[in-house]
Amino acid sequence: MDANEFRKLGHELIDWVADYRERIDDYPVMSQVQPGEVAEKLPAEPPLHGGGLGDIVDDLDRIVMPGITHWNHPGFLHYFPSNSDLSSVLADLVSAGLGVQGMSWQTSPAATEVEDVVMEWLRDMVGLPDAFTGVIEDTASTSTFTALLCARERTSGFSQNRGGLQAEDAPLVVYASDQAHSSIPKAALLAGFGAEHLRLIGTDDEHALRLDLLERAVDDDLAAGRRPCAVVAGVGTTATTALDPVAGIADLCERRDIWLHVDAALAGTAMICPEYRWMWDGVDRADSVVFNPHKWMGTGFDLSAYYVRDPEHLVRVMSTDPSYLRTAQDGQVRNLRDWGIPLGRRFRALKLWFLLRAEGVEGLQARIRRDVGNASWLAEQVVEAPDWGLMAPAPLQTVSLRHVPPAMAGDEEALAAHNAAVVARVTAGGKYYFGTSLLKGRLIIRVSVGAQPTEREHVAGAWAALREAATAV
Ligand SMILES: *Cc1c(COP(=O)(O)O)cnc(C)c1O
């Protein structure tokens, strides 16, 4: 494609994205297509001749749009938000337009130095001490995997330079709560700890990790000759945004020389508001912390912020330093290829820079407070409504609830079927989209507030739709 054609089609597509965002609530929030329906509309063979982008807008509308679930829709109340502020959309366009591969400082100094600065801004914004240094990863899954690799290498005294975990004489053990995100067991397995050395510790009535059980598990492992290696503390777990006791876990980790990784994938964004920072009290003593600006904050997927207290250790675990990658500036600059798993890196920092300039810290704070306020309002409605129950505290933006008709009280199977039917009925209506989750054997409805355009009226509308469905099914 030449620059002229790009200019013409590019303007058209910017208008198309802007129109889409302005009219997003005309769409049913969840895609209604059946499996195979999108693929069927595409030709079986790739185009032999070029020049076929002229009708691309029609094809996007006809083929792609029916297969889109609208994450930036005001009725999107499922999972956790994946806000993509339009400022970050423009930044992604610039990043792709520059086509930079920022693996080393020299391969585009601005890609590294903008990242250096915006990651310091972000660290200060969420109140992390300046002992932490940040790097952008693609996802929290990668950040947590990286953390467990670093923990493994610290506890084992760099076993990777010898026989690896396979040659260790005592197994290394990882701990997290039974509410930990699936990315944590996945990281532990991929990092070679083995399922037998992953302990998912029981949680209390508020679904937070029980420190007494963690301490007992660590003691038992030590007594049996195993080596406690890492604890992953969850701040804002995925099912219910439970808050593990980070300060108490940090005490234990310091006492036993265990790596502490804090997974605040969603909740980290809330820490832009000082009044929520009690929720991760003790985080300053973590070895590593991850949170995802690509969730609630609005940088657009993908941008995960990974902070470490000992960057030299990270670089020692991650760097390979073959001669063909060395550059003259290596002693004076960060080469971000040595700060994570991939060699090549996109210029993601632009998304954060654009977003922060567009919204400002105060703009972000106002949006976070709006969402927490709307979720608290919903939690109050649930507590006051007869036959509805709040299933977990709602400190942030996710409300866990269910309908309990008196005839079904105590019958978990009937309650699960009933609440699943309520959710299916509301979702089929197309205006709201949320999901269910299994919380210790009980099916809950999870209403996760925080899409950028979601206002109180949408949360109130979803609540009304839930009550209507509960009587109709
Ligand atoms: C979303 C989430 C993750 C995984 O995030 P990705 O960036 O998609 O890998 C991890 N932990 C928690 C608590 C999450 O909510």
Per-residue confidence band for 386, with pLDDT thresholds at 50, 70 and 90? very high
Q: Which of 171, 146, 188, 390 is nearest to 287 (CA)?
A: 146
The CA distance from 110 to 116, in Å, is: 10
Per-residue confidence band for 19, with pLDDT thresholds at 50, 70 and 90? very high
Predicted confidence at residue 330, as pLDDT, reads 74
Query: Is it the case that residue 331 has pLDDT exceeding 90?
Result: no
Query: Is it the case that residue 320 has pLDDT exceeding 90?
Result: no
In tens, the pLDDT along 389-443 reads: 999 999 999 999 999 999 998 999 999 999 999 999 999 999 999 999 999 999 9
One domain for residues 319 and 365: no
For residue 234, the surrounding DSSP H or E stretch is: strand 227-234
* Residue range(s) defining the domain that contains residue 152: 100-346
- Residue 44 falls within a domain, yes or no? no
In tens, the pLDDT along 333-375 reads: 899 999 999 999 999 999 999 999 999 999 999 999 999 999 9
- Residue 239 falls within a domain, yes or no? yes
In tens, the pLDDT along 291-311 reads: 999 999 999 999 999 999 999
Predicted confidence at residue 28, as pLDDT, reads 96
- Residue 64 falls within a domain, yes or no? no
Predicted confidence at residue 128, as pLDDT, reads 98
One domain for residues 366 and 310: no
One domain for residues 316 and 370: no
Amino acid (one-letter) located at 149: L
In tens, the pLDDT along 165-211 reads: 999 999 999 999 999 999 999 999 999 999 999 999 999 999 999 99
Sequence-distant (≥ 6) Cβ neighbours of residue 188 within 8 angstroms? 148, 174, 197, 198
One domain for residues 268 and 415: no
Predicted confidence at residue 326, as pLDDT, reads 73
Taking the centre of ligand 1 as the mean of its atom positions, its distance from the CA of residue 195, in whole angstroms, is 20
Per-residue confidence band for 256, with pLDDT thresholds at 50, 70 and 90? very high
One domain for residues 317 and 414: no
Taking the centre of ligand 1 as the mean of its atom positions, its distance from the CA of residue 291, in whole angstroms, is 8
The CA distance from 220 to 281, in Å, is: 27
One domain for residues 271 and 141: yes
The arithmetic mean of pLDDT across residues 310-323, rounded, is 87
One domain for residues 110 and 250: yes
Q: What is the CATH number of the domain that holds 329?
A: 3.40.640.10
In whole numbers, what is the pLDDT of the chain averaged over residues? 96
Predicted confidence at residue 377, as pLDDT, reads 98
One domain for residues 383 and 328: no
Taking the centre of ligand 1 as the mean of its atom positions, its distance from the CA of residue 269, in whole angstroms, is 13
The response to whether residue 141 sits with its C-beta less than 6 Å from ligand 1 reads yes
The arithmetic mean of pLDDT across residues 43-55, rounded, is 93
Q: Which atom of ligand 1 is nearest to the CA of 238?
A: 15
The response to whether residue 140 sits with its C-beta less than 6 Å from ligand 1 reads yes
Taking the centre of ligand 1 as the mean of its atom positions, its distance from the CA of residue 263, in whole angstroms, is 8
One domain for residues 268 and 374: no
One domain for residues 379 and 313: no
One domain for residues 291 and 195: yes
Amino acid (one-letter) located at 208: A
Angle at which helices 311-318 and 140-155 pack, to 10 degrees? 90
Q: Which of 302, 322, 346 is the last residue of a domain?
A: 346
The CA distance from 146 to 210, in Å, is: 25
Query: Is it the case that residue 323 has pLDDT exceeding 90?
Result: no
Predicted confidence at residue 407, as pLDDT, reads 94
Angle at which helices 246-256 and 211-223 pack, to 10 degrees? 20
Query: Is it the case that residue 381 has pLDDT exceeding 90?
Result: yes
Tell me the C-alpha to C-alpha distance, in Å, between residue 284 and each of 247, 262, 277: 9, 10, 11
The response to whether residue 267 sits with its C-beta less than 6 Å from ligand 1 reads no
The response to whether residue 263 sits with its C-beta less than 6 Å from ligand 1 reads yes
Query: Is it the case that residue 325 has pLDDT exceeding 80?
Result: no
Q: What is the CATH number of the domain that holds 14?
A: 3.90.1150.170
Contact 450, 296 (CB under 8 A): yes
Q: Which atom of ligand 1 is nearest to the CA of 294?
A: 7
Amino acid (one-letter) located at 246: V
DSSP characters for 157-216?
Answer: TSGGGTT-GGG-SS-EEEEEETT--THHHHHHHHTT--GGGEEEE-B-TTS-B-HHHHHH
Predicted confidence at residue 332, as pLDDT, reads 85
Q: Which of 346, 370, 391 is the last residue of a domain?
A: 346
Predicted confidence at residue 343, as pLDDT, reads 94
Mutate to test the pocket of ligand 1, among 83, 183, 396 (most ligand atoms within 8 A of CB): 183
Predicted confidence at residue 329, as pLDDT, reads 74
CA dihedral 81, 82, 87, 93 (to 10 degrees): -170
Predicted confidence at residue 321, as pLDDT, reads 73
Q: Which of 289, 324, 346 is the last residue of a domain?
A: 346
The response to whether residue 401 sits with its C-beta less than 6 Å from ligand 1 reads no
Query: Is it the case that residue 151 has pLDDT exceeding 90?
Result: yes
Report the domain count for the chain. Answer: 2
Task: Name the residue with tokens 């301490």.
Answer: 215
One domain for residues 201 and 311: yes
